[in-house]
Amino acid sequence: MTPDPERSAIGTTMPPGLFGRERIQAAFTRAREEKRGVLVAYLMGGDPGPGDDVAYLQALIDGGVDLIEVGIPFSDPMADGPTIQKAATRALAAGTRPKDVLAGVRRLRDAGVAVPIVVMTYANIPYTMTWAGYARALREAGVDGTIIPDLPVDECAPLSAAMADEGLANILLAAPMTTGERLERVAKTSQGFLYLVGSYGTTGARDSLAEETLGLVEAAAPAARRAGIPLAVGFGVSQAEHVRSLIESGADGVVVGSALVRLVEERRGPEEVRDAVARLARGLRPDPTSS
């Protein structure tokens, strides 16, 4: 399958000179102008080995992704399900270190890739590097933001400040049980976009979306709008129909991870990853048959 001819990869038309939060914002702005959602695709950095991920990341772009989320492997990935946990184990066993993942991003930037890229990892890694050192390393690599699932809104101020100093985004997660005043606080504090965890438990592809997931989107979307920030939902998304349902429920973007990581685990080539992304991207527009 080839990418949707109605939409090119955003990196081919991204305004020059943008980086960090501005580059992330531009991705959502363009999608809104095109009356569609944003597709965020996740892969584990350094999987199956250091440097091997670059061809797969390029495949995401070739398939039509709007924003890339790349994992820095960590030994205790508490928010991740079995598929991504195994990817982290493979990457670590192969010797992948944070600097290897960032070097891969730098290779893409040096090759002219302008798609927004954020990294997801766990708090021990930026804490060890120091908040400022971590943010600086991301900026130098060409990364636009970060997601730290075990750094809640109550504890994120030092990292958020360090990221802001570099013009980058500290993207916060809202859990399914996050409601009311706390949801409003998370939305107002998050930078770049608000990442809604669309199901209970850890990450992992699912065959169907629970009705509660669509309800979570409908509840969180107003808080994101009041905060002036886009809403992206992830955890469990694996099919174009999931993507379309979430966009129609009020999400501005959808994050797909485990379904793509599994292709790498199964030793599928970058071409198959590209085709999977192209299929998912077809769900970004509303169903033309619906009224």
Q: Just list the catalytic residues.
A: 69, 80
Q: Compute the distance between CA of residue 101 and CA of residue 226 in angstroms, rounded to an integer.
A: 35
Place of tokens 């770049």: 192
* For helices 270-281 and 53-63, angle between their N-to-C axes, nearest 10 degrees: 30
CA-to-CA dists, residue 224 to 131, 156, 160, 187, angstroms? 26, 18, 18, 6
- Tell which residue, 163, 135, 152, 158, has the closest CA to residue 195: 152
Which has the closest alpha carbon to 218: 190, 256, 251? 251
Q: State both tokens at 127.
A: 């804490």
The contacts of residue 230 (CB under 8 Å, 6+ apart) are 28, 38, 193, 194, 224, 252, 253
**Cis previous bond, 48, omega within 30:** yes
Q: Are strands 169-171 and 173-174 parallel, antiparallel or unpaired?
A: unpaired
In whole angstroms, what separates CA 29 from the centre of its chain?
A: 16
Residue 156 to residue 86: CA distance in whole angstroms: 27
